[in-house]
Structure 1
Amino acid sequence: MDISSCVKSFLVYIVIFTFSVQATLGSIACEKLNKDSCAFAVSSSGKRCVLEKNVRRSGEEVFVCSTSQIDTDKLTSWIETDECLDACGLDRNVLGISSDSLLESRFMQKLCSTRCYNGCPNIVDLYFNLAAGEGVYLPSLCQAQGDSKRRGMSEIRSLGYIAAHGPMVPTKLMVDGSPTMAPSPVGPY
């Protein structure tokens, strides 16, 4: 065997080895993830994974991980860390993907914290896009959260930027121009 055929064979083996290692180590398929690693994960194709609950005919609840239609901007092959879930106030057992948590003051405090906002790009990307889908710019929402937590959320709700559960309540302005709102039919935020 001459040197050029040895080099060609070696290069072929390197290419095969590289693709097989990438396929076994770096490839994430949502359907192959278990309940404890599904929520907030991103597949190798850049789609977000979502935890769903199915009920069998026997009544038994089974959790499955599925690929959503939601793309990430830049992330692929990502399983969120427990540290980020804790920093951002999230639960690994959350079902589906929803913007509802953007209305919860405690969640927003955690999401907008330096530890979460600067250290957990996957979670920030997800909630940035969820907020944008509701017509809200996440940095502005975090700014409102920092300036005056209750007032910031009231203003956002009163302007209709985030759709709340139940009917919208008309807003009246106080003398100083700040909105007053009737109590939410869903409960306090």
Structure 2
Amino acid sequence: MMPSPLLLVSLSLLLPSALAAADVICENLPKNQCAFAVSSSSKRCILESYRGVGAQTEYECGTSDIGVARISAHVETDECINSCGVDRNSVGISSDLLTELRFLDRLCSPECFQRCANIIDLYYNLAAAEGRANLYQLRLFLDAENG
């Protein structure tokens, strides 16, 4: 039995909207999903702040110039946010947390390191850009430094 023309037309109309639902466009993400998201074009989303009406600080999600290999159309899970000890309200992308032993403990924990490739990729690349290519070595260095 052949599918009816009406069924085929209906499916053809639904398919583009189903595919579009999988698109991640940073500028369309709400503030609470922006940080640690990766767009469909494999660019990191970044939460930015600006002065709004009445000098109020407002926030919007934008697309950074930072590309991500092997990850696209990804909004980070609450499990990974919690396991890795990061904050969805982080403005910008910073390596400041890499100097905190408690943060590195969470980042290197099995719950984060083995399950949250996007966050590990971000902080690994931030560390590498500063000449610290190994997160475990960085953690051991800070541990020895803090005594």
Query: TM-score, normalized by length of structure 1?
Result: 0.67
Quote how far apart the aligned CAs of 1:53 are: 0.9
Q: Aligned residue for 1:103?
A: 99
Q: Aligned residue for 2:19?
A: 22
Distance 1:122 1:47, change over 3 A: same
Q: Aligned residue for 1:40?
A: 36
- How many residue pairs get aligned? The number is 142
Q: Aligned residue for 1:65?
A: 61
* 2:128 pairs with 1:128: no
**Counterpart of 1:58 in 2: which secondary structure?**
helix
Distance 1:150 1:34, change over 3 A: same
Q: Aligned residue for 1:142?
A: 136
**Counterpart of 1:43 in 2: which secondary structure?**
coil
- One-letter identity of the residue aligned with 2:15: T
Quote how far apart the aligned CAs of 1:128 are: 1.2
- One-letter identity of the residue aligned with 2:96: D
- One-letter identity of the residue aligned with 1:103: T
- One-letter identity of the residue aligned with 2:143: R
Query: TM-score, normalized by length of structure 2?
Result: 0.85
Quote how far apart the aligned CAs of 1:20 are: 2.8
* 2:48 pairs with 1:52: yes
Counting only pairs closer than 5 Å after superposition, residues 58-97 of structure 1 correspond to structure 2 as 58-97=54-93
Q: Which has the larger radius of gyration?
A: 1
Quote how far apart the aligned CAs of 1:84 are: 0.5
- One-letter identity of the residue aligned with 1:106: R
Higher helix share: 2
**Counterpart of 2:55 in 1: which secondary structure?**
coil
Q: Tell me the C-alpha RMSD between the 2 structures.
A: 2.2
- One-letter identity of the residue aligned with 1:85: I
Quote how far apart the aligned CAs of 1:56 are: 2.2
Q: Runs of 5+ in structure 2 lacking a partner?
A: none
For residues 32 and 123 of structure 1, what CA distance do their matches in structure 2 show? Answer: 21
Quote how far apart the aligned CAs of 1:135 are: 1.5
Quote how far apart the aligned CAs of 1:65 are: 0.5
Q: Runs of 5+ in structure 1 lacking a partner?
A: 155-187
Quote how far apart the aligned CAs of 1:68 are: 0.4
Quote how far apart the aligned CAs of 1:17 are: 4.0
Distance 1:114 1:48, change over 3 A: same
- Deviation readout 1:27-62 (Å, 9 max, x if unpaired): 111111111111001111110001111112521111
